[in-house]
Amino acid sequence: MNAYIFPGQGAQFSGMGQELYEHSSLAKNMFEEANSILGFDITKTMFEGSAEDLKQTNVTQPAIFIHSVVLAKSMGGRFKPEMVAGHSLGEFSALVANNTLSFEHGLKLVAQRADAMQKACDSTEGTMAAVLGLENEVVESVCKGIEGIVVAANYNCPGQLVISGAIEPIHTACELLKEKGARRALVLPVGGAFHSPLMEPAREQLASAIEQTTFSTPSCPIYQNVTANAVDDTAEIKTNLIAQLTSPVRWTQSVEQMIADGAQHFIEVGPGKVLQGLVRKINRESNTSAAELE
């Protein structure tokens, strides 16, 4: 079975999407439609902007979503997903790929998500840290023992877990995790405590937008970050999508479940190759590749 996977924030690069734009009239039309939906020329920033320009949350998230969805649509008849999943932001791309959301509705939600997350970051100081070389249970146990908000946020692959929370508890956790034998416990250069309780204001803002958006019956199951299970019920998809901002991204568990359910080939759709690397670390036998244009 073919599993299509969609990257999240961090996959952006200068010039992203330009090759797609020049590839076909379909791609060009989708980029122009995106500019119209967002009300600003995001394609100009994607094609010509610096790395710094692309780091702005209100640009980064829509840019990665647009790149991923346009690439999926540009594959034409070869794009036949039997299961999909996306890492954090990538879940929105996956929901367009399996026809749960239209391109327009997906992009509007992503823009609102970026706005909500930026506001939450501005109102509450938080950060994240990557922890390498420890068992998940050890990291979870250390986090639980610290006063203040610090939680497991991204289960990326075995031995690579990102924690999220308030600044001081994160620094405390890093020191304790190093003492426990972590190879590295490194604070990341991010704007906020994503996938933690500190994102509650963003979750509330996004919840109302999701509730007002039309979701259609998906063409294949999506393995959602919150549960790591296959979902094809629209009400359940909405519930999980709303919970996503304050819940951990269970990427390791999602990939393991997809393999258990018959995934043989993982195809990454979007900028970068991060997810292919994570899939191979989760299961060395996995067959991975990048989506290619017709």
Which residues are catalytically annotated? Answer: 88, 195
**HSE on the CB side for 193, CA within 13 Å?**
27
- Single-letter code of the amino acid located at 162: V
**HSE on the CB side for 41, CA within 13 Å?**
5
- Cβ(165)–Cβ(193) below 8 Å: yes
The total of other beta-carbon atoms located within 10 Å of residue 92's CB is: 28
DSSP state of 215: -
DSSP state of 249: B
Residue 130's alpha-carbon distances to 56, 62, 160, 195, 226, in angstroms, are 21, 24, 7, 14, 19
In angstroms, rounded to a whole number, what is the distance separating the alpha carbons of residues 83 and 105? 21
- Single-letter code of the amino acid located at 24: S
Provide CB contacts within 8 A for 271, sequence distance 6+.
7, 11, 12, 13, 16, 64, 67, 68
Q: Which strand (E) or helix (H) includes residue 248?
A: none
In angstroms, rounded to a whole number, what is the distance separating the alpha carbons of residues 60 and 242? 20
